[in-house]
């Protein structure tokens, strides 16, 4: 599966109810979603610790969704082989967390997974300039990473638009743009309009009725495609 520019909703299970995680992932598949966003946090790169390989391995046994693993971890290259064993499909690393970003992306690809490069809100797009040939997706953080439920930083809208232009101008129109943080019914159109095509949503999917929330996003995507 290539990422490309199709619109996708990637619910972040950081906001799921872990007592019934399997059931909530079943709802995602029943509603026709293809992606799940998996936030791994180490308590060093970001303030919080979330979950790691044992959880990913466990949910892989029951799920056929595309596993988009967001590594909010210092030097994530250390975990490449383990992530492959756990069934990750795409590994997204933070440019700020890798001394050797190019080598890290090469290793992820060599292990047979797709690559993502995540940028914190304050990180400029130019860090991508010499790794685009090894990048399947760029993740624009629209909050400072570490917690679900934060508000979208509106200044990121022009960063998303600048990235879409940069990728087109550089001859990489197929690189996906994922946006993560504060995406909900009030911000979804702004994010789509700027040129993002993979939208992560945590609290906006898992608060109250999961199926109903997913349908709201799907309806918005359809309306966006029509206009």
Dist. CA 6–CA 76, nearest whole Å: 27
Interaction between residue 178 and Zn ion (CB under 5 A): no
Residue pair 108/60 in contact by the 8 Å Cβ criterion: no
Respond yes or no: is residue 39 known to be catalytic. Answer: yes
| 89 part of the interface to Zn ion, by CB under 5 A | no
- The yes-or-no answer on residue 180 being catalytic is yes
Q: Give the binding site for ligand DX5 (CB under 6 A).
A: 12, 14-15, 37, 39, 70, 143, 145-150, 180-183, 200-204
Question: Judged by CB under 5 A, does residue 68 bind Zn ion?
Answer: no
CA distance 26 to 16: 12
| Active-site pick, 68, 180, 186, 209 | 180
C-beta nearest to ligand DX5: residue: 202
For the stretch 203-207, contacts whose Cβ atoms lie closer than 8 Å and that sit 24 or more positions apart, written own/partner, are: 203/15, 203/148, 203/149, 205/9, 205/11, 205/12, 205/15, 206/11, 206/13, 206/15, 206/16, 206/17, 206/24, 207/15
Comparison of 167 and 199: residue with beta carbon closer to ligand DX5: 199
- We find the least distance from the C-beta atom of residue 148 to ligand DX5, in angstroms, to be 3
Active site residues: 39, 180
Residues in contact with Zn ion by the rule CB under 5 A: 39, 70, 180
């Amino acid at each position: 599966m290539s990422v490309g520019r199709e619109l996708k909703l990637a619910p972040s299970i950081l906001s799921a109810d872990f007592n019934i995680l399997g059931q909530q992932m079943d709802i995602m598949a029943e509603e026709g979603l293809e992606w799940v966003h998996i936030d791994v946090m180490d308590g060093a790169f970001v303030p919080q610790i979330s979950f790691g390989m044992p959880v990913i391995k466990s949910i892989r046994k029951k799920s056929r969704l595309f596993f988009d693993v967001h590594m909010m971890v210092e030097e994530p290259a250390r975990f490449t082989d383990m992530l492959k064993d756990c069934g990750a499909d795409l590994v997204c690393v933070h440019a700020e967390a890798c001394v050797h970003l190019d080598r890290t992306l090469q290793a992820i690809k060599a292990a047979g997974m797709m690559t993502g490069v995540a940028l914190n809100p304050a990180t400029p797009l130019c860090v991508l300039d010499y790794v685009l040939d090894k990048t399947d997706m760029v993740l624009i953080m629209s909050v400072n990473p570490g917690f679900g439920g934060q508000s979208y930083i509106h200044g990121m809208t022009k960063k998303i638009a600048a990235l879409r232009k940069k990728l087109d101008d550089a001859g990489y129109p197929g690189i996906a743009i994922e946006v993560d943080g504060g995406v909900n019914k009030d911000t979804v159109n702004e994010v789509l309009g700027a040129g993002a095509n993979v939208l992560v949503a945590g609290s906006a999917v898992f608060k109250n009725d999961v199926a109903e929330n997913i349908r709201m996003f799907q309806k918005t995507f359809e309306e966006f495609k029509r206009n």
